[in-house]
Amino acid sequence: MILVVKLCKEKMHDLEFVKPIEDILIKNDIEFNSLFYKNLDTNTLLKTDKVILSGTSLLDNDFSDNLDYFHWIKNLKKPILGICGGFQILGLMFNGRKIKSEKIGLSNIYFDKEFLGVKGKLEVYELHNYSVKSKEYENYAISDNCPKAIKHKKMPFYGVLFHPEVRNKNIIVEFSKL
């Protein structure tokens, strides 16, 4: 089962950032559960095979003020996909530093090696104010001088600064197959 961790402080924003992920999982008959990050418990994490950390709206940075709720990430040995805000959390939990990186709209990025079924040029939808750089992650795609796709060097943790639930649904499907 995949656990979709909702990062949106405003429940209504789940319609834009969580429901599209859930719709992809439903369409592909992938079992999942969704929970707000402040409601996670150890028992839920034990029953989970993989985790997706959702994105949030531009003005919702509540998650970054509450990083203590994500201490479990460092001990989890299961695959995690961090999307936008989730990407930031993954980087910050491993000595990353937040960098200003504002982008809204379509962009072309280039994957120099295979990343969750993607390689080469990819058009993506971006909606973010920040990126994160961490020496503990390998960069798979860099654009505008900041990481857009990362994988932890030792753990099965993947992050994308763009929103695959909008234009690149196959990335979520490929992640679910890990």
- State pLDDT tens for residues 124-176: 999 888 889 899 999 999 888 789 999 999 999 999 999 999 999 999 999 99
Res 80 pLDDT > 80:
yes
Q: What is the mean pLDDT of residues 16-42?
A: 96
If one counts the domains in the chain, the total is 1
Residue 138 tokens, joined: 């390998």
Q: What is the mean pLDDT of residues 50-61?
A: 88
- pLDDT score at 14: 83
- State pLDDT tens for residues 86-129: 999 999 999 899 988 888 899 999 998 999 999 999 999 998 88
Its domain, for residue 13, covers 2-176
Nearest to 21, CA basis, from 44, 40, 4 = 4
Q: What is the DSSP string of 27-87?
A: HTT--EEEEEGGG--HHHHHH-SEEEE----TT--GGGG-GGGGGGGGG--S-EEEETHHH
CATH assignment of the domain containing 59: 3.40.50.880
Task: Show which residues are catalytic.
Answer: 84, 163, 165
